Chains A and B, each alone.
Chain A
Amino acid sequence: MTTTPTNAALPSAEIQLDIFRRMLRIERNDDATHKQIRLGRITSPYYSGRGQEVIPATMSALMTRDDKICTIYRGIHDMVAKDMPLRPLWAEICGRVDGTCKGKGGPMHLTHPATGVMVTTGIVGSSMPIANGLAWAALLDGSKQVTVAYFGDGAANIGAFHEALNLAALWKLPVIFVCQNNGYGEHTRIENHMAGDLISKRAVGYAMPGFTVDGNDPFDMYAHAHAAIERARAGEGPTLLECKTFRFMGHAFGDNDAYMLEGEKAAHMAKDPLPAFRAKLIASGVASEAQLAQMQTAIEAEVDDAIAFAMACEFPGVEELRRDVFAEEIPA
């Protein structure tokens, strides 16, 4: 269950670079978000995915634009990895009318069907039953499209997890359940919120393959993600991937870390997967220092442009309260 699949796929140099680009885009975007929060320009809670970059970056490197994701309130890293454009993303975070949801959903409900970001839910566990439906539609269409349901370790304890995994396995739906196990459900450590040692073991109960993966290792992630996506595309049904990672910014950005073990966060941050993978790419000759510096400059320019765009956008007018409740506007 925790072993690497046989004939483990290895990411090509091109894919390694693509995974890194997505990781860097997440990290640079996250860093810019911290700055805007400190400047008082973002006033809503922020659930940072910093530290968890490898998981969605690798999944996304293996997905097409048509493949779908359903994610959760800690999900901006998942969307950035899926190449959601940053201008409408930032305008949404800032509550502006040019946001991808016209400023009516905000960071917990970012949606962008054009890049496959179908649902972002603020309810723990609820990404999974809906992902099943998107997968069911793909199955009926006869397409090869897959759906990824992202969720956290806390969501493995809620009923929706059980209901969704059972149905997905029963109907062999092309869905991949990707648990980003960061060791905490809100402020509660996993050994205090979950019976049993591994979430992946629960897959056995649904006659579904389940693997515990090093979610901070792009190679381990790639091998498991590749196998799971191929399995889904081949009509063989769902896979549960428990990807072990750690969140560097706590539950909500700015929370104090008193609930964590002493030194725990620092130890994880010392093993930050982003600089580690960067060094590996250079050491193995996949990329040059200059190439990665250029990549970073381009990403930072994209983020800066998105923030400038968002700040210049108008807030939605109050008439938006009557729109999109139903397809037909509600009369004033």
Chain B
Amino acid sequence: MSEMVTMTGQQAINLALAEAMERDPKVLVFGEDVADREGGGVSGTTRGLSTRFGDDRVRSTPITEQAIIGAPIGAAMGGYKPVAEIMLMNFTAVAMDMIVNHAAKLRFMSGGQSQVPIVIRTMTGAGYQTAGQHADFLEAWFCHTAGIKVVAASNPADFKGLMLSCIDDPDPCMFIEAGVAIRTPGELAVDQGKIPLGKARIHQAGTDVTVISYSTQFLRCIEAVKELEEAGISVELIDLRTISPWDKECVLASVEKTGRAVVVHEALRSFGVGAEIAATISEELFGKLKAPVRRLGAPYSAVPFSKPLETAFLVQPADVVACVKELISRG
């Protein structure tokens, strides 16, 4: 058993970047304010890297999202492994052409001649009163684009292990660093290595219902599950970790056992990742379900500013508890 250490997700990501850069001189870090002269990232996630690895490999950029993704695409085709930061997920909208039309599609459109092994790191999440343009979970946009992987960890061990995998992955990866999740401390092994993409983690086994979530919302589900357990309901809680491609095998095996499923995410409920997972469960396990598959997500609204509205916008642990109890009550 390895020695365990406690740190935040941000520190774990920093550790992953440093390890990858140490091991592979082709790994580059790139984005607004990422170098130490500018503070090592707006939240300090890349702090120390430029001092250690030099300004050529850790480079602060202008506020120029199309160029921030365009340059890594070209550098990746030139043999490098750039980790580019789009400070906040809403700003990916400014770089959408580079991400969707180019990074994700160049391998396919070139018949496999081009590869774009870039990682796009991006922060997001409501709860900080940053309103409608700084807090959206937009993962469904990218899951709906063939050719880019979408990863959203909830804890430091996964942040480190998944980042190491994304850097070495031959395809572009969108790496979501949700504000709450990256600041929540947790334990990880001192020698935490890669965690494979596309594999979910069963946080706890249970028999009555399967709750599937990821990122910050997964942390809220942990709270909900505690309350449900106290009420005598046995919950199997799954952290999806990679949203696309998602671990169907793990989810379907769990729901086949429990017969009930709730998918919970911070993004809008409408047309969200939950709809894809719920539809797949319904298609594959129709005769084995004891209740309809439920989705919990944000209402069809922009992320609001005012604190009571922001709280109401987010799925709270009590919403998960009520949803699960309603499913159980159907027998």
Contact = CB atoms under 8 A, between A and B. Distances in A.
Interface of A: 70, 99-105, 109, 111-113, 118-119, 121-123, 126, 128-138, 140-141, 147, 159-160, 163-164, 166-167, 170, 323-327
Interface string B43-83: 00000000000001000011011110111111111111010
Contact of B70 (A103, A109, A132): A132
Contacts of A111: 106, 109-111, 113-114
Given A101-B110, A105-B109, A111-B110, A134 B78 contact: yes
A159 B3 CA distance: 50
Contacts of B76: 133
Interface of B: 28, 56, 61-62, 64-67, 69-80, 82, 97-98, 101-102, 106-115, 146-147, 149, 170-171
Contacts of B98: 126, 129-130
Contacts of A134: 74-75, 77-78
Contacts of B72: 133
B102 A102 contact: no
Looking at A100, A121, A135, A137, the one whose CB has the most chain B CB atoms below 10 A away is A137
Contacts of A105: 108-111
Contact of B107 (A133, A136, A159, A325): A325
Contacts of B147: 325-326
Given A100-B113, A137-B77, 16 more contacts: A70-B74, A101-B110, A121-B101, A123-B101, A128-B70, A129-B67, A129-B70, A132-B70, A133-B72, A133-B77, A166-B67, A167-B64, A167-B67, A170-B62, A326-B149, A327-B115
B78 A101 contact: no
B80 A137 contact: yes
Contacts of B97: 123, 126, 160
B118 to A, nearest CB: 9
B114 to A, nearest CB: 6
A324 B74 contact: no
A132 B106 contact: no
A244 B232 CA distance: 77
A126 B79 CA distance: 20
B50 to A, nearest CB: 15
Contacts of A136: 71, 74-75, 78
A325 B146 CA distance: 6
Contacts of A326: 107, 147, 149, 170-171
A118 B114 contact: yes
B238 to A, nearest CB: 21
Given A129-B67, A129-B69, A133-B78, A327 B170 contact: yes
Contacts of B115: 327
Looking at B70, B82, B115, B149, the one whose CB has the most chain A CB atoms below 10 A away is B70
Contact of A135 (B62, B74, B107): B74
Contacts of A126: 70, 97-98, 101-102
Nearest to B100: A123
B204 to A, nearest CB: 29
Given A126-B98, A141-B78, A166-B64, A133 B71 contact: yes
A167 B98 CA distance: 15
A159 B101 CA distance: 16
A327 B62 CA distance: 32
A123 B109 CA distance: 14
Nearest to A70: B74
7 contacts: A109-B109, A123-B101, A126-B102, A133-B76, A133-B77, A134-B77, A136-B75
Contacts of B71: 129-130, 132-133, 136, 167
Looking at B62, B66, B97, B115, the one whose CB has the most chain A CB atoms below 10 A away is B66
Given A126-B102, A133-B70, A133-B75, A163 B113 contact: no
Contacts of B67: 129, 132, 160, 163-164, 166-167
Given A111-B114, A163-B66, A324 B108 contact: yes
Contacts of B170: 326-327
B72 to A, nearest CB: 6
A89 B82 CA distance: 30
A100 B78 contact: no
A327 B107 contact: yes
B92 to A, nearest CB: 15
Nearest to A323: B112
A167 B62 CA distance: 8
A123 B70 CA distance: 13
A167 to B, nearest CB: 4
A121 B102 contact: yes
Given A123-B101, A160-B97, A133 B66 contact: no
B25 to A, nearest CB: 9
Contacts of B114: 111, 113, 118-119
